[in-house]
Amino acid sequence: MDLGDPDLYASEKRYEMWQDFLADDRIVRSDPGWSPSGFWSAFSHRACQELLAPGKPVTSEYGMLIGFDKSNPDRGGGKMIVATDGAAHKRLRRVLGRFLTPSALQRLGSFIDSEVARLLTAAAEDDVVDVAQGIGPTLPAAVVCELLGVPQADRDYLIELTDKAFASPDSESAGTATTDAHTDIFFYFNDRVDECRRNPGVDLISALITSGELGVDEVLTNCYNLLIGGNQTSRHLMCGVFHAAAEVPGLLDVVRDRPDAHRAVTEELLRWVSPGMHVLRVATEDTILHGQRIQEGEAVVAWLAAANRDPRVFPDPENFRWDRGANPHLALGHGVHHCVGAQLARMESSRLFAALAARSRAVTPAEPPVRTRSNLIQGYRRLPVAIDWQAGAVDAPA
């Protein structure tokens, strides 16, 4: 089986496959196919933690997604925070991280609340809302564009480019359009960097380019990384808010009536949705992973979404249980590459959940969700829901 084949992840059957691999609990080999050189796969929570733990002789500098390896490296390797290690990674994390701490992000709180209010007010005008086509992609894209200082007039254009850049393999935008979209994103940010150098603002790009700590190439690649990460994964987390509300009786009541439960609900949402399906590492020397010998130069994939359904760590893993207590999920990674934008993702989903609970009594599925066909992004192509709004929700201020 080629575990890079996106057809394996086009339906809920992925969970049955993962449970088989989790029960077997071994490292599995995929021959060349979607990955030119093939790769190994780790599924269990313990095996994925072992692979991603500090000190393991593996690197992300050749790329962190299926398709990249030592012979086919990512051009962003050594420049982008997700594709650097050692001293270079520490430097990038130090510079970027101070703009993404909870205290640094507080200025975005009112913007997120305003955007959520606007989107929910608009949604209340329709009997059925496909959140995968509206609220899901719109909210995180607006937030990351606000963080980066992207002008309002350019935001729809950038959202369209990111959709094309990470299109499903069966999308009309796949192929040449995907490559062109990646290039256009870099051209766009190159122009923004020039503008921010001439007229600095209070945005992240201006702060990075005027700090003197990063070169222009590093600013470009990491703005690209923040845009993609803030749009392509978080959109499915936002959709998961509605999916969980529809699937779990009483969940909106918990969010509405128990502010002390908000953190637990958010962490369970991250585990249950797990929008980033995998990360990849390449062995820098011969090593043993979970009993399997891995040779230097071989790629190994940690299936984070599978690890987050490991019954040895998460009892009743298929179900959303906000009260499960300890929740050591890997949805935001593990070790030194723990997601630098983790707090932003938590802010967006928590505030959306709270606003939805305040404005509605119930969410019900209008149709079964349609999943993405992707080996990278676990999410929703369509998620139509009907929302039972509280009185006055339609007329609530945007």
Q: Which residue(s) pair with 283 in the sheet?
A: 58
Per DSSP, the three-state class of 226 is: helix
β strands within the chain, DSSP E: 28-30, 39-42, 58-59, 129-130, 278-283, 287-289, 292-294, 299-303, 360-365, 370-371, 380-382, 384-389
Q: pLDDT tens, 326-369? A: 899 999 999 999 999 999 999 999 999 999 999 999 999 999 99
User: Reading across the β-sheet that carries 360-365, which strands appear in turn?
Assistant: 129-130, 384-389, 360-365
Q: Which residue(s) pair with 44 in the sheet?
A: none
* CA proximity to 41, closest of 21, 69, 15, 63: 21
Q: Which residue(s) pair with 130 in the sheet?
A: 384
**What is the average pLDDT score of the chain?**
92
The whole-number pLDDT of residue 173 equals 46
- pTM score, two decimals? 0.93
Task: Work out the pLDDT band at 59, boundaries 50, 70, 90.
Answer: very high
Contacts (Cβ under 8 Å, ≥6 apart) of 82: 60, 64, 225, 229, 337
Residue 151, burial from CB neighbour count under 10 angstroms (0-12, 13-18, 19+):
exposed
The whole-number pLDDT of residue 191 equals 92
Instruction: For residues 356 and 369, give the distance between their C-alpha atoms in angstroms, rounded to a whole number.
Output: 19
C-alpha of 221 from chain center: 17
Q: What is the DSSP letter of 107?
A: G
Instruction: For residues 324 and 329, give the distance between their C-alpha atoms in angstroms, rounded to a whole number.
Output: 12
- Number of DSSP helices (H) and strands (E) in the chain, helices first: 15, 12
* CA proximity to 317, closest of 45, 47, 112, 32: 45
Q: pLDDT tens, 303-316? A: 999 999 999 999 99
**Mean pLDDT to the nearest integer, 124-153:** 93
Sequence letter at residue 312 = R
CATH code linked to domain 6-389:
1.10.630.10
Q: pLDDT tens, 188-237? A: 999 999 999 999 988 899 988 888 888 888 898 888 888 888 788 999 99
Sequence letter at residue 178 = T
Question: 195-224 burial string, b = 16+ CB within 10 Å, else e?
Answer: bbeeeeeebbbbbbbeeeebeeebbbbbbb
Task: Work out the pLDDT band at 170, boundaries 50, 70, 90.
Answer: very low
User: Where are the domains positioned within the chain?
Assistant: 6-389
Position 169 pLDDT exceeds 60: no
Per the model's pLDDT, the better-predicted residue between 187 and 396 turns out to be 187
Task: Work out the pLDDT band at 238, boundaries 50, 70, 90.
Answer: very high
Q: pLDDT tens, 246-286? A: 999 999 999 999 999 999 999 999 999 999 999 999 999 99
Cβ atoms within 10 Å of 112's Cβ, excluding its own? 22
Question: 225-263 burial string, b = 16+ CB within 10 Å, else e?
Answer: bbbbbbbbbbbbbbbbbbbbbbebeebbebbbeeeeebe
* Cβ pair 291, 53 in contact under 8 A: no
